[in-house]
């Protein structure tokens, strides 16, 4: 949450200072180089995409399915870079070349950016992710993010410890995952409906009251 807060402040600041400049791409490039080893790189890439795809220019845009497929596969590969530092003998060994200080951070962000680039260019994928199930998952995604760890660290762990002496490791893990999902999904929806939406409504009410112009009282004559 700290990264999200400061990242949002970074976006607001850059938009305020450089958003209307013709040479703002120079500042975007500088921000990319400065944040290359941090998760704040994701916010810079997101701002760059927002600027790029809201403009009328076709620079860096493509509808070539072969190019988009290559970028998608490459992005998924980079995004799956292992968190473990022991990557020397793995498929990802050639990426661990010391070029980045925090390779898992940089590769994950770049991979996510490549996947997002494909989604912004592909009408087929946009239709898929605009269908009811992905839209529903998008609505509850923040609630799911908050709820899932609590369930995993309590219910899932207790269930696995109960099942492991009875079942082998694989089936015990599978059953624990399935039953945990059946608990996480409805809890996330309830949290979204009664907590998240209520918080959004409250914040809108609070903002509207703060932003309401103050009309001075007219003295009676």
CB atoms inside a 10 Å sphere around CB 55: 10
Angle at Cα 125 formed by Cα 123 and Cα 128, nearest 5°?
Answer: 110
Mean pLDDT score across all residues of the chain: 87
The pLDDT value recorded for residue 90 is 75
| pLDDT single digits (tens) 71-96 | 999 999 999 988 876 666 778 778 87
CB atoms inside a 10 Å sphere around CB 132: 7
Residue 65: pLDDT over 60: yes
CB atoms inside a 10 Å sphere around CB 57: 8
Q: How far apart are CA 182 and CA 62, in angstroms?
A: 40
Please state, for a pLDDT cut of 70, what percent of the chain lies above it: 91
Please state, for a pLDDT cut of 90, what percent of the chain lies above it: 52
Residue 190: pLDDT over 90: yes
Q: CB–CB of 155/183 below 8 Å?
A: yes
Residue 218: pLDDT over 70: no
| pLDDT single digits (tens) 92-143 | 778 877 788 888 899 999 999 999 999 999 989 999 989 999 999 999 998 9
Give every CB contact of residue 134 below 8 A, 6+ residues apart in sequence. 128
Q: How far apart are CA 5 and CA 141, in angstroms?
A: 18
Q: How far apart are CA 191 and CA 122, in angstroms?
A: 32
- Token pair, residue 74, equals 């490459």
The pLDDT value recorded for residue 201 is 86
Give every CB contact of residue 124 below 8 A, 6+ residues apart in sequence. none
Among 148, 151, 177, 172, residue whose Cα is nearest residue 161? 172
Q: CB–CB of 24/51 below 8 Å?
A: yes
Does this model's pTM top 0.75? My answer is no
The pLDDT of 13-40, averaged and rounded, is 90
The pLDDT of 32-51, averaged and rounded, is 92
Q: How far apart are CA 34 and CA 70, in angstroms?
A: 27
Q: How far apart are CA 189 and CA 183, in angstroms?
A: 10
Q: CB–CB of 11/46 below 8 Å?
A: yes
């Amino acid at each position: 949450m700290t990264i999200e807060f400061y990242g949002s402040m970074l976006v607001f600041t850059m938009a305020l200072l450089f958003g209307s400049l013709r040479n703002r791409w120079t500042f975007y490039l500088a921000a990319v180089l400065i944040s290359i080893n941090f998760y704040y790189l994701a916010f810079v890439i997101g701002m760059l995409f927002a600027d790029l795809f809201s403009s009328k220019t076709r620079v860096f845009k493509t509808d070539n399915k072969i190019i988009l497929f290559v970028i998608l596969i490459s992005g998924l590969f980079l995004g799956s870079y292992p968190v473990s530092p022991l990557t020397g003998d793995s498929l990802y060994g050639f990426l661990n070349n010391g070029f980045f200080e925090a390779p898992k951070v940089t590769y994950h962000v770049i991979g996510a950016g490549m996947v997002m680039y494909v989604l912004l260019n592909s009408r087929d994928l946009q239709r898929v992710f605009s269908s009811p199930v992905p839209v529903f998952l998008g609505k509850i995604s923040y609630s799911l993010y908050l709820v899932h760890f609590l369930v995993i660290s309590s219910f899932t762990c207790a269930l696995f410890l109960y099942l492991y002496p009875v079942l082998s490791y694989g089936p015990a893990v599978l059953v624990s995952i399935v039953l945990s999902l059946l608990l996480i999904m409805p809890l996330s929806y309830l949290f979204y409906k009664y907590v998240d939406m209520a918080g959004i409504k409250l914040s809108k009410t609070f903002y509207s009251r703060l932003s309401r112009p103050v009309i001075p009282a007219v003295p009676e004559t």
